[in-house]
Amino acid sequence: MRLRESLRLSWRSIRGHKLRSTLTTLGVVIGIAAVITFVTLGVSLEAGILGDVDTGQTNRIYVWGSPAGEGGGPGEDAELIFTQRDVTELRNQSDVAAAYPWTPLPSESLTHGNDTVPIREGVIATGTEYVEADRVADGRRFEEGEREAVINPAAANRFEENVSVGDTVAVAVPGAGEVNATVVGVLETSEGQGPFEGFGEDPRIYLPADPYYLDLASEATDDPRYLSVVVEADDPRDVDAARDSARAYLESDASDAGDYLGGDLELTIQTGGELLEQIQDILDQVTAFVTGIAVISLVVGAIGIANIMLVSVTERTREIGVMKAVGAQNRDVLTLFLTEAVILGVIGAVGGVALGAVGGWAAAEYADLPLTYPLEWFAIAVGVGILVGVVSGLYPAWRAARTDPIDALRYE
Amino acid sequence: MADDPAVSLTGVRKTYRVGEPVHALDGVDLSLVDGSYTAVMGPSGSGKSTLMNLVGCLDAPTEGTVTVDGTDVTALSDRERTALRGDEIGFVFQTFNLMPRLTARENVALPLIFQGVDAAERGERADAMLGRMGIGDRGDHRPNELSGGQRQRVAIARALVTDPTLVLADEPTGNLDTETGARILDVFDEAHAAGNTILVVTHERHVAERADRIVHLLDGRIERIERVGRPGSAGAGGPADDEVTG
């Protein structure tokens, strides 16, 4: 008997019991839908977070000092320990291509023309390289030593009249009055540019640390220090070497930061790749957990299919007898029932994928993440559906195949 | 269709072991000539069913040989026996035994699926056979949309569609009223006239009298063979049925 025939006959039996077939596949639908929903959410989350930390940033190394043994996220509880001299010295270390400070500027509000909006976080003093050139949609990056700024769309669009290249904005700094900057670039998106600022779409404005931060800090102290430093390697392959040389310098007596380290403060140096791995690890754990639950659901689903197939074999004993009487081989009967179970499994899988895709979309929408579908998981799900069908159908189909036609024809 | 037997049984014994050994058939010799029409009668427990299972290649004898179209069934594997059954035997059952979810046409075509006949040819042959049974317009109906007589015609069409060596009918009128039953027996007469070899198992005398001869079974042995109606000439199909109105 050809595969097409068994598909047709099996499909006929399934359609003959619509409600029963639907209920039978529910276990598989729920299991697969759960996995697809969570994997979609995971992948979307990954895309939302890691999409920003793309390959261009895996050559970055993030450096900060925080109280020993607390091990928080990037920049958490960081202290002001790096001097401008440290940053300059870091640039001269081997395998280091660039080094620049990253430190938020205390701020109250942002003014454009007659329009003032509050901004407490999001004014960032850093180096030119921190803003990647290809992320500037309009204009260019600021230059160090100049009174220039790069603004992101979320900040630019908060004003009644959007800020564009060439405009002047004023940042109100507590205790220091207003500082002016000429906007020279508008970014393409409003996502954070690195892990220190988080990856949400918040209003941000980027200024050169020299002069803005240095001038302001100098008014308060003789020894201005940065919160953190970003070091770049030439090539992602040199990142480990650059990290080692940065650590060697900062922990030596030659560095200013070294004065504070030892004792209570601990230097943390993380590469972009390491940050990626951390996030990935958490996502993998969540996915593994959900997959575990889904496996239970799939086992229950498989038992459901096996159960209904056994009922079906018993119900159709006479039909099996007739088929065998008119020349169906054991193999034909086995194929028929196995096909039926596999169809049920695949329907469950496809239904689960559809439901899971909707669930994933809803979850991504709710969490405000860019929806990304894990297409390979869709294929895996259908594969699992086939597997569930085969596993659950094997015994019932074998029972059907070895039915004695004489008994079967006499069966009431 | 001279006298080479379509089916022959030689010294056939069938023993079931349910505690005490039971001889369902106890040394039966019988041959069904090509084109002949034979009825088997006997009280329950006489071995009718066992005989039918053996002739229908559903079972193998404990002793003796069963030959269908020149092939010794006894020596065959289960698989070969199934293939032989599909090719050479057409079954007609008391309860019709149609597949409930398939249309009349698909039911008739079912045996051809297992012979690997392609879909187009299956449809043609099934339609031709339904036409021959006088229900050519019922091809798209499911069994539950057909009357008892129509169902049995579908079943006969299914039995004949493979052009079998032997049509084996087990109480073919048992579930039908007298009138409809008589019509179905006419269909068998027509098949006989067309050259099919037929074996009917029944306990009703008027059904058996349609055949050329009646084999009476008792306690697993052939008690006697009675010649009825038509004189020996197979396929002649003379109207010798005065008891039955059709």
Confidence of residue A349 (pLDDT cuts 50, 70, 90): very high
Banded pLDDT at A411 (limits 50, 70, 90) = confident
Q: Which of the residue ranges A265-269, B137-141, B208-212 would you say has the lowest mean pLDDT? A: A265-269
Q: Over range A270-288, report the average pLDDT.
A: 80
Q: B50 vs chain A: nearest CA distance in angstroms?
A: 10
d(CA B5, CA B8): 6
- How many folded domains does chain B comprise? 1
Q: Determine what percent of chain A is predicted with pLDDT higher than 90.
A: 34
In angstroms, the separation between the Cα of residue A355 and the nearest Cα of chain B is: 30
Tokens of A13: 């039996």
Q: Which residues contact B160 (CB under 8 A, 6 or more apart)?
A: B90, B129, B132, B167, B191, B196
Per-residue pLDDT tens digits for B145-190:
999 999 999 999 999 999 998 999 999 998 899 999 999 999 999 9
Chain B residues near residue A332 by CB distance under 8 angstroms: 114
* Residue A55: count of CB within 10 angstroms of its CB: 9
In the DSSP assignment, the letter for residue B1 is -
- The Cα–Cα gap between B94 and B41 comes to 15
Chain A hits for B111, Cβ within 8 Å: 326-327
With 50 as the cut, is the pLDDT of residue B2 above it? no
Answer yes or no: is pLDDT of B71 > 50. Answer: yes
Contact between A12 and B102 using a beta-carbon 8 Å cutoff: yes
Distance from CA of A199 to the nearest CA of B (A): 59
List the domain boundaries for chain A. Answer: 3-52+279-410, 97-225
Asked if residue B13 belongs to a domain, the reply is no
Domain hosting residue B173, numbered range = 34-58+74-227
Cβ distance of B102 and A318 shorter than 8 Å = no
Which residues in chain B are contacts of A13 at CB distance < 8 A? 101
| Residue B186, domain member (yes or no) | yes
Would you say residue B232 has pLDDT above 50? no
Per residue in A373-403, pLDDT (tens digit) is 889 989 999 999 999 999 999 999 999 999 9
Q: What's the confidence (pLDDT) of residue B242?
A: 38
Is beta strand B63-68 parallel, antiparallel or unpaired with respect to B166-170? unpaired
Structure confidence at residue A403 (pLDDT): 92
C-beta atoms of B158 and A324 within 8 A: no
pLDDT at A52: 56
Contact A385, A28 (CB under 8 A): yes
Q: Does the beta-carbon distance from A1 to B97 stay under 8 Å? A: no
pLDDT of residue A151: 93
pLDDT level of residue B241 (50, 70, 90 thresholds): very low
CB distance A169 to A201 below 8 Å:
no
**What per-residue confidence (pLDDT) applies to B17?**
84
Q: Which has the closest alpha carbon to A57: A228, A233, A202?
A: A233
Q: Which residues, 6+ apart, have CB-to-CB distance to A156 below 8 Å?
A: A162, A163, A164, A183, A186
- The whole-number pLDDT of residue A56 equals 53
Average pLDDT over residues B218-238: 70
A5 has a chain B CB within 8 A of its CB = yes
A18-45 mean pLDDT: 88
Cβ of B82 within 8 Å of Cβ of A13? The answer is no
Alpha-carbon gap, residue A110 to A147, rounded angstroms: 15
A8 in contact with B, Cβ within 8 Å: no
A16 → chain B, closest CA residue: B101
| B10 inside domain | no
Q: How far apart are CA B108 and CA B110, in angstroms?
A: 6
* Domain of residue B78, CATH code: 3.40.50.300
Residue numbers in A near B78 (CB within 8 A): 330
| Rounded Cα gap, residues A190 and A199, in angstroms | 9
Which residue does chain A place closest to B53, by CA atoms? A406
The 10s digit of each residue's pLDDT in B15-54 is: 988 788 888 899 999 999 999 999 999 988 898 989 999 9
State the pLDDT at residue A397.
95
The answer, yes or no, to whether residue A214 has pLDDT greater than 80, is yes
| Residues of B with Cβ-Cβ distance to A330 under 8 angstroms | 78-79, 82
Contact A352/A31 with Cβ under 8 angstroms?
A: yes
Give the model's confidence band at B236: pLDDT under 50 very low, under 70 low, under 90 confident, else very high: very low
Q: Which of A18, A326, A402 to mutate to test the interface with B (most CBs of B within 10 A)?
A: A326
Percent of all residues in chain B with a pLDDT value above 70, rounded to a whole number: 91
Per-residue confidence band for A57, with pLDDT thresholds at 50, 70 and 90? low
How far is Cα A373 from Cα A40, in angstroms, rounded to an integer?
5
Predicted local distance difference test score (pLDDT) of residue B235: 41
Mutation for testing the A interface, residue in B49, B91, B93, B97 having most A CBs under 10 Å: B97
- Say whether pLDDT at B233 is over 70: no
Instruction: Summarize the confidence of residues B216-223 as an average pLDDT.
Output: 93
What is the value of ipTM here, to two decimals? 0.87
CB contact under 8 A, B113 and A321: no
Region A152-180: what's the mean pLDDT?
A: 88
Rounded mean pLDDT, B94-103: 92
Which is more confident, A333 or A49?
Answer: A333
Work out the mean pLDDT of chain A and round it to a whole number.
87
pLDDT mean over A56-75 = 78
Give the per-residue pLDDT at A348.
94
**pLDDT tens-place string over residues A360-373:** 999 888 877 788 88
